[in-house]
Structure 1
Amino acid sequence: MNVVEKIITLEQKESVRLDPDRLKGLCAHLGDTNAIDVLCRTIEELAVRLSHCERFWRQRDWTELRKCARSLVAIADQAGMTVLARVASDVVQTVEAGDAVGTGATLNRLIRVGEKSLTAVWDQQDLSV
């Protein structure tokens, strides 16, 4: 019988980055109130699409997962969520490569980064930067 003496737990921490210039641009173009409204709707849409991506993964619906992740790239990029856009692009690439294991790993990372990105936007004290 083998005995494990020490178990190591890997803690996965993701850093996110919001593009302040993109947020400033939104505020300059739309005004503070409208920019906040757009960001709130964007956050809501991103949360819904992250949930859809996870569901498509569980259903092994690669076509819809790819489509949903691609839409996340565009939305996240417009909102200045550069890391989220990049990781969503990684999910698209793994789906296109037919790499189910890689897709699972990058999708889990997408969900972690997505949650942190959404929280980071909400935590902004002054969206007009």
Structure 2
Amino acid sequence: MAQVSRLRCDEAMALDPARLVVLYAELGQDAAERVISAAMEDLAGHLNMLEDAATIGHRTRLRRTIAEICVLAEQVGLTSMVRVARHLAQCVEQDDPIAQSAVMARLGRIAERSLTEVWDLGDLSS
């Protein structure tokens, strides 16, 4: 009888809180919260665009969207998301659909945790 193993995907999420501190120091609380909120919304939209581009196999759109995700994630200190997005870019460049699918799933998990962490850290949900 075959044994079934359950794999737990639990990657440590890295956030650079210093980036948020800089935003708050440079812009003030209200403006920083608007910038962070806009970045979070843009990231969510770009993640959806990424899924759409992957579904139809549009490699140029994939590359462009990944680059935009990196810029937005760096803006608010989401270092894990940037790292995983760059891994995804490598998979696209190597034309490896299996790895691309796995890294897309990984990016989805990291994105969910990262976005929640930024909202909680900045207390932007209220």
Q: Under a length normalisation based on structure 1, what TM-score does the superposition of the two structures give?
A: 0.89
2:121 to 116, 124, 127: 124
Letter in 2 for 1:10: L
In the TM superposition, what whole-angstrom CA distance separates every residue of 1:102-127 from its partner, at most 9, and x where no partner exists?
11111111111011100111112558
8 A contact 1:14–1:116 mirrored in 2: no
2:68 to 71, 75, 78: 71
Q: Which residue of 2 aligns with 1:96?
A: 93
Q: Which residue of 2 aligns with 1:113?
A: 110
- Structure 2: how far apart are the matches of 1:102 and 1:10? 17
- Structure 1: how far apart are the matches of 2:24 and 2:87? 29
Aligned positions of 1:1-129 closer than 5 A? 3-4=1-2, 6-124=3-121
Aligned CA-pair RMSD:
1.4
- Structure 1: how far apart are the matches of 2:106 and 2:34? 27
- Structure 2: how far apart are the matches of 1:121 and 1:28? 16
Q: CA deviation at 1:54?
A: 1.2
8 A contact 2:39–2:76 mirrored in 1: yes
- Structure 2: how far apart are the matches of 1:62 and 1:119? 29
Range 56-65 or range 79-88, more displaced: 56-65
Q: CA deviation at 1:15?
A: 2.1
- Unpaired runs of 5+ in structure 1? none
Runs of 4 or more above 6 Å deviation: none
Aligned residues: 124
- Unpaired runs of 5+ in structure 2? none
- Structure 1: how far apart are the matches of 2:7 and 2:78? 26
Percent identity between matched residues is: 36
